[in-house]
Amino acid sequence: MIVGLITWGLIIWAVVVYRRRKGQTGLPVQLRYNMPIEIFYTVVPLILVVGFFAFTARDQTAIEARFDSPDVKVQVIGKQWAWDFNYENEDVFTTGVQGQPDLEGPKGSLVQAEIPTLVLPVGKKIELTLDSRDVIHSFWVVDFLYKKDMIPGKTNYMSVIPERIGTFSGKCAELCGEYHSLMLFKVKVVSEADYATYIDSLRATGTNDGQVDLDYKRNSNLPGTSAPTAQEGN
């Protein structure tokens, strides 16, 4: 806004001061190669760009730094169009399905109980390992004010410390296909005791032990894989 006001002010000032008056003919005096002005509009933007870059690089380095010893490690697997969560320390997992329409609720609403939920303990160092089974997705928890791409064949990481208990909305922030808008999830930040209770409840089911892997990945174009070949014309 400040830059805009300065720019608009200078434009209006030039229009008013240097307008053609009644009775004037010909061209006004032409000014060329004003070195002070040219140096000004070259040096100032350079200083701004370098300054913005320096602050961005500093903050990004701090934000992207991984914890030496995270308290909780969770692998997040994106897939068309839902999420799987591996709780690596506890060796349990949950799998999810895409958002389902709530036929009994308002038009456009979803069944909240079926939206995948990632449970995290408050105040702990969390490392999220981000992988994709198929296309590029993007892991975005709106209240975390941060998101990161999930790229097939490449593992990314996100390090966070949840600071308050509550339930927060998450979604895929990368257009990933027909049902992209239904690729939702929730992050539920709970106390350490409630987190332990949740993990115990997963173990008690008898079906959530171990870890889901990327065996169902659909990208056959990665190094070390052999895609089926087809003869020309077939």
Concatenated DSSP letters of 71-101: SEEEEEEEETTEEEEEETTTTEEEE-----B
The per-residue DSSP string of 20-73 comes to PPTT--SPPPP----HHHHHHHHHHHHHHHHHHHHHHHHHHHHHHPPPSS-SEE
Neighbour tally for 39: CB within 10 Å:
10
How far is Cα 32 from Cα 46, in angstroms, rounded to an integer?
A: 22
pLDDT of residue 31: 74
Nearest 10 degrees: Cα torsion 215, 221, 222, 224? 80
Segment 75-91, tens digit of pLDDT: 999 998 899 999 999 99
State the Cα–Cα distance between residues 62 and 60, nearest whole angstrom.
Answer: 5
DSSP three-state, residue 138? strand
Q: How far apart are the first and last CA of the chain?
A: 59
pTM: 0.73
CA 212 to chain centre: 23
Instruction: Provide the residue-wise pLDDT of the chain in tens; the chain has 234 residues.
Output: 999 999 999 999 999 998 888 888 888 777 777 888 889 989 999 999 999 999 999 999 998 999 999 999 999 999 988 999 999 999 999 998 888 777 777 777 777 778 899 999 999 999 999 999 989 999 999 999 889 999 988 999 999 999 999 999 999 999 999 989 999 999 999 999 999 999 999 999 989 999 988 776 666 656 555 555 444 444
